[in-house]
Amino acid sequence: MGNQLQLLDYVLVPSGMLIMVTYHLWLLYQTVKHPTKTVISINAINRHFWVGAMMEVTLRNNIMGSTLLASTALTLSSLIAVLMTSSSGDQSTWFIFGDKSDLFFSIKFFLTLVCFFVAFLLNVQSIRYYSHASILINVPFKKMPSNGSHFWSLGLCAFYFSFPLFLWIFGPISMLLTNFLLVFALYFLDVTVTFEFGWALCKNEEEEAVATSLST
């Protein structure tokens, strides 16, 4: 029975992580090759127009959002570290359908901790770019807000990967199910079938109309 439970970890955990990695690689391909079909690319296109009308208070809100995520990642990292040190006793009494060895427990906690640390570092980089953009508010700096937003998105991805890794503590089946649910939910959040520039195009049309009226 013990070998069968270990086999679940060896099969279901890599399968679950493969699902998440495959989805994000597919999302990256769609973002690069078909930019009008993903929310990330649409936001990047609109951000190109948004920079021209951006106010400092908007940058401050972005910095606050990234700071909140960075603080959350650091707090969760501390919580995982406490769990690692306090779970050195007998894990056989835990409700876990899978391998209950000390080695697997250490691997589970360590990988979850790495995800939270990566999320923290990525959000710190996002804060860095937004802070530089707020200093250079009156000069062309369109690339800095985009870089800050990209690091913020990568930080969210690290959070997404931490969910199934944390639930792996309770067994590989819960991890695999979480991966399926996450990919299903993220698909509807990341992919769009209709594309509109929104206020960016409206602003462009208004600027063209003003320029035309001035020229005449």
- Read off the pLDDT of residues 133-150 as tens digits, 9 standing for 90 and up: 776 665 555 566 677 778
- In the chain, where are the structural domains located? 50-215
The two structure tokens encoding residue 41: 């690319």
Nearest partner of 158 among 117, 119, 113, judged by Cα:
119
pLDDT interval class at 22 (50, 70, 90): very high
pLDDT interval class at 199 (50, 70, 90): very low
Which are the contacts of 173, defined by CB distance < 8 A and separation ≥ 6? 8, 12, 97, 98
pLDDT interval class at 189 (50, 70, 90): confident
- Read off the pLDDT of residues 75-129 as tens digits, 9 standing for 90 and up: 888 888 887 777 655 555 555 666 667 777 788 888 888 899 999 999 888 888 8
Distance CA 46, CA 149 (A): 12
* Mean pLDDT (whole number) for 153-161: 89
Q: In degrees rounded to 5, what are phi and psi of residue 121?
A: -65, -40
